[in-house]
Amino acid sequence: MGFLDIRNVTKSYGSVKVLHNVDIDVQQGEFLVLVGPSGCGKSTLLNMIAGLESITTGEIAIKGRVVNGVHPSRRNIAMVFQSYALYPNMTVGQNMTFGLEMHGVPKPERAAALAKVAKLLQIEQLLDRKPGQLSGGQRQRVAMGRALVRDPDVFLFDEPLSNLDAKLRVDMRTEIKKLHDKLKTTIVYVTHDQIEAMTLSTRIAVMFAGEVQQLGTPKEIYDTPTNVYVATFMGSPAMNVVAASVDMRGEVPHARVVNADGAEQFLRFSQPNMADWAGRDILLGIRPEAITDPEGADRNSANIATLSNRVTVTEPAGADTYVSMTLGDKDIVARMRADVNVGPNDVFDFAVNMEKAVAFDPKTQDRIRP
């Protein structure tokens, strides 16, 4: 049993089911990120944990106490909203202590809690200002401060960084991570940004169409995605997924990819169990960073396949250069070092790290497990 238990929870609006049997155990001190595209049900799930939306079936328990039907204020949770939701008529200090005041905490204790959190977040000089006089980043801090003052069991974050500009977002991301490392609080964090999910979380739940597609550590999600959806959603640029078939060449399974001009390419699999799929169609998934120039290939890999192909586009991105080619029926992106010497229309030897390649069943879209 976890600290926050989500047991077989569903949510329906009339006959429309928006969440299907979600099961997640969150341990104490864990940073769980719910990630997925708009409309996948992640915010609905968060609101159900908060008590702002009712639970259709299933149970949510915090510290072993089932909270279905318990009022939000009695769940001992705090929430940071996307719009920050600071009360415009109150000062920063009043905003942060409003919850304590509502819970009947005496004034001296409120002041002490406020001083402690204000010091932690370095917003002591802002306490007498109104939210309208703060910058975006400052409002973000105050919103987090308001949650921290309560000292709740579970923190809920609803896309807290999506209203900030790009640079500030990265800074605040680091700050939230530091804060979590320091305070060891239990956090459920909703975002549609897969980089936030990867960097912040101890575990990620990738959601799509009201279902948890995969629940695991960032590394598990990234390296061993359960299906094509998770594989292509997590990672930027997205994982390349190409139609291929399994071909046995001297007892060793290879992925056979046919280009538009009829040229065949063979890439040796590292997983021996791919032999079970001999002669059948699969989907081959390769991360952009697993395709490099021969010099940039991973030296620790025991299986680097070479792929001779024509380059279509090169996109220098500063730290990396993205090199595109056409493989099979798809445009493939390779992520190479910045100073790689290659131009459009060159025929180039791509080094593919097949140890990192994954294969999917084209019918179920699920990953073929080694």
Partner 1 sequence: MAVAEQDTAVRTSAVSRTLIYLILLLFALFYLLPFFVMLVNSLKPLSEITGGNMMALPQDWTIAPWLSAWSTAQIGVEPTGLRPYFLNSLMMVVPAVAISTVLGALNGYVLTKWRFRGDTFLFGLMLFSCFIPFQIVLIPMARMLGIMGLAGSIPGLILVHVVYGLGFTTLYFRNYYAAFPTELVRAAMIDGAGFFRIFWRIMLPVSGPIAVVSVIWQFTNIWNDFLFGASFGGQSQPMTVALNNLVQSSTGVKEYNVHFAGAIIAALPTLLVYVVAGRFFVRGLMAGSVKG
- Cβ-in-10-Å burial (0-12, 13-18, 19+) of 46 comes to buried
* Closest CB 96 distance from partner 1, rounded Å: 10
Positive/negative CA dihedral, 94, 75, 109, 141? negative
Binding residue (CB under 8 A) for partner 1 from 26, 50, 127, 357: 50
Taking CB under 8 A as the criterion, the residue among 12, 54, 57, 83 binding partner 1 is 83
Task: Write out the two tokens for 11.
Answer: 């949510």
Of residues 160 and 225, the one with the C-beta less far from partner 1: 160
Given strand 65-66, what is the order of strands in its sheet?
16-26, 4-13, 57-62, 65-66
Stretch that binds partner 1, among 131-139, 301-309, 317-325, 350-358 (CB under 8 A): 131-139
Q: Which amino acid is at 251?
A: E
Distance of closest approach, residue 334 Cβ to partner 1, in angstroms: 39
Task: Decide if residue 206 touches partner 1 (CB under 8 A).
Answer: no
Tell which one of 42, 110, 139, 169 touches partner 1 (CB under 8 A). 139
Yes or no: say if 269 and 253 are a contact pair by the CB < 8 Å rule.
yes
Q: Closest CB to partner 1 among 87 and 331?
A: 87
56 binds partner 1 (CB under 8 A): no
Q: Residue 362, interface with partner 1 (CB under 8 A)?
A: no
Q: Which CB sits closer to partner 1, 77 or 212?
A: 77
Could you tell me the smallest distance in angstroms from the CB atom of residue 294 to partner 1?
Answer: 49
Asked if 136 touches partner 1 (CB under 8 A), the answer is yes
From residue 69, alpha-carbon distances to 15, 50, 264 in Å are 21, 11, 61
Tell me the C-alpha distance between 183 and 60, whole Å: 24
The Cα–Cα gap between 37 and 192 comes to 6
* Beta-strand pair 186-191/154-158: parallel
Indicate the DSSP class of residue 366.
B
**Nearer Cβ to partner 1 (54/83):** 83
Per-residue binder mask for partner 1 (CB under 8 A), 161-190, x = binder: --x---------------------------
Given the rule CB under 8 A, which of 67-75, 211-219, 265-273, 362-370 is the region that contacts partner 1? 67-75
- Interatomic CA distance for residues 189 and 41, integer angstroms: 13
Q: Looking at beta carbons only, is 73 or 312 nearer to partner 1? A: 73
x/- site string to partner 1, residues 243 to 262, per CB under 8 A?
A: --------------------
Q: Interacting stretch for partner 1, rule CB under 8 A, among 78-86, 189-197, 202-210, 283-291?
A: 78-86
CA distance 221 to 6: 20
Rounded (5°) CA angle 50-53-58: 90
Question: Looking at 134, 172, 197, 274, which residue binds partner 1 (CB under 8 A)?
Answer: 134
Q: Does 26 bind partner 1 (CB under 8 A)?
A: no
Residues facing residue 205 across a β-bridge: 34, 215
CA distance 315 to 164: 27
Query: Least distance in Å: CB of 123 to partner 1?
Result: 16
Residue 82 is a binding residue for partner 1 (CB under 8 A) = yes
Q: Rule CB under 8 A: choose which of 23, 87, 236, 281 binds partner 1.
A: 87
SS3 154: strand
How does strand 31-35 pair with strand 264-268?
A: unpaired
The sign of the dihedral angle between the CA atoms of 173, 179, 184, 188 is: negative
Cβ atoms of 231 and 285 closer than 8 Å: yes
Please choose, out of 47-55, 185-193, 222-230, 252-260, the segment that lies near partner 1 by the rule CB under 8 A: 47-55
Binding residues (CB under 8 A) for partner 1: these are 50-52, 71-73, 77-79, 81-89, 98-99, 102-103, 130-134, 136, 139, 146, 150, 163
